[in-house]
Amino acid sequence: MRTRTPKGTDTPGPELAAEAYVYGYPLLCSLRVIRLMNERGMTVPATPFNTFGHADRLADAGSRFVSVNNDTLYSFAPLDLAGGPLLLNVPDGDGSYRVLQFIDAWTNSFAYLGSRSGAAAGRWLVTPPGWNGAVPDGLRGVIKAPTRVVVVAGRHACAGPDDLPRARALQRRLGLEPLAPAAGPLPGLPQPDPRVPAPLADWEELRIAFAAFPPAAAEHAHLERFRPLGLLDATPERLLAPALADVLTLGLARGRQRVEHAHEAPPAEPGGWSTDPHLADYNLDHFGPGRLDDPHWRTADRAASHLARASVARTALWANHGYEAVYATARTDADGRQLNGAHSYRLRFEQPPPVDAFWSLTMYDAPGYHLVANPADRYSVGDRTPGLIHASDGSLTLCLQHREPTDPVERANWLPAPAGNFRPMLRMYGPRPEVLDGSYRIPPITAHPR
């Protein structure tokens, strides 16, 4: 179907379209993952709305979630609150690390329940936007969702296969139930208009997503700027206008490029690690339990937060705030050369990373940020990995390479790398102040002769 641009409407330029794509990319990405979670599962089995889906094993090369961790057992619950509030049951823990992270449709983390934020066991009420009903007695608290659809991402620390029964027992005790029976079927995710052709699919997804999941009130004026593109219309007619075809095509290409390369800034020095405790500070409007309402943990520039949010959605979807966990990635060795499985590397920790929970180093391919199959079936190493061998001075040297080492110490401390380019990620759960203020420096990865 083709229509003309409405009379008197100026055709916008591709720069506006690129900005719209960057702005909406996190929403687009998040809803696509939720749809996959509903239909066939992502890290957890296929999970309908308002139920928990639990992983029964740690992530491996078959897990296609971006930057998935290999440290915790996941539990995901996609929520559709159109039917009203939900009661969430959080079981008593056993002292191990765990967190329930609440993420809205725009990828904003707006609440946390878990080890860091204090005792969270008990019943909680999760309410939809604008709900003002009576809150039952005996609840631990209320979690107000900014959008109708949200995700609860649970992470339960698991030290390996032998620890799975304990972590699974905690998973099974998580529960969800409606506060009152829903009046009808849940709407779920919006469906694109079938008249829209494949080249415009991303724009059609954004159009219906903007309508179904409006951003915070402080963002409405910014969203309104995209009306000339047809992205705020109730139907796709203006989106399909021939005059917009080139604009949308060029804007899509520019927007994708910006999202793809937003995280590519080189570290300050060769071999340096790219780390930002303020990675997820783009949520400026919603502060539920466990979320720190502090200017220190909010991006000062609202416009800059849009690209930051898109970058995180691309490389670390649904990442935690820095006070919950800090992530650091390396792209080059100490000589500034791209990390590649054709070479052998060492990473020496004189002292372990300073954390209150635990730390790990996980191997990903580049640029995909996915786990890669290896004969040792090992995807991360850290302070909970059995059999690591420390030097007499207490230091720990990890061996990063594609081929299995022949030296027994190096084999014990081996983190297998893919044959091509790779990017390891250091995760620090419960980071201490020296991690958050930047005074702790992660040692560089050094090339090692074979």
Write the DSSP string, 152-203. EEEEEE--SGGGHHHHHHHHHT-EEEESS--SS----S----TTS-GGGHHH
Exposed e or buried b per residue across 409-445, where buried means at least 16 C-beta atoms within 10 angstroms of its C-beta: ebeebbbbbbeebbbbbbbbbbbeeebbeeebebbbb
Distance CA 176, CA 329 (A): 36
Global pTM reads 0.90
At residue 2, the pLDDT reads 37
pLDDT per residue rounded down to tens, the chain (450 residues): 333 444 444 679 999 999 999 999 999 999 999 999 999 987 899 999 999 999 999 999 988 778 899 999 999 999 999 999 999 999 988 889 999 999 999 999 999 999 888 768 899 999 999 999 999 999 999 999 999 999 999 999 998 889 999 999 999 999 999 999 988 899 999 999 999 999 999 999 999 999 999 999 999 999 999 999 999 999 999 999 998 989 999 999 999 999 998 866 556 688 899 998 998 999 999 999 999 999 999 999 999 999 999 999 998 899 999 999 999 999 999 999 999 999 999 999 999 999 999 999 999 999 888 999 999 999 999 999 999 999 999 999 999 999 999 999 999 999 999 999 999 999 999 999 999 999 999 999 999 987
DSSP lists the bridge partners of residue 332 as 338
Distance CA 21, CA 202 (A): 9
**Are the C-beta atoms of residues 374 and 409 closer than 8 Å to each other?**
no
Distance CA 138, CA 73 (A): 29
| Spacing of C-alpha 146 from chain mean position | 17
* Preceding omega of 375 cis (within 30 degrees of 0): no
Q: pLDDT digit string (tens) for 259-305?
A: 998 866 556 688 899 998 998 999 999 999 999 999 999 999 999 99
What are 416's two structure tokens?
């297998």
Distance CA 66, CA 260 (A): 13
What are 322's two structure tokens?
């820095």
Distance CA 325, CA 360 (A): 11
What are 317's two structure tokens?
């979807």
Nearest to 370 by CA among 423, 439, 302, 306: 423
At residue 264, the pLDDT reads 60
| Spacing of C-alpha 344 from chain mean position | 30
User: H helices within 373-439, ranges in order?
Assistant: 408-412, 433-436
260: helix, strand or coil: helix
> Looking at the domain that runs over 274-448, which CATH code has it been given?
2.60.120.600
67: helix, strand or coil: coil
- What number of H helices and E strands is found in the chain? 8, 18
Residues in the chain: 450
Distance CA 204, CA 180 (A): 34
What are 296's two structure tokens?
């220190």
Residues 6+ apart with CB under 8 A from 128: 81, 82, 84, 85, 145, 148
DSSP lists the bridge partners of residue 75 as 54, 154
Ranges of each domain in the chain: 14-26+188-261, 274-448
Nearest to 93 by CA among 167, 150, 144: 167
At residue 3, the pLDDT reads 37
Residues 6+ apart with CB under 8 A from 153: 74, 75, 76, 100, 101, 102, 103, 318
What are 130's two structure tokens?
């604008």
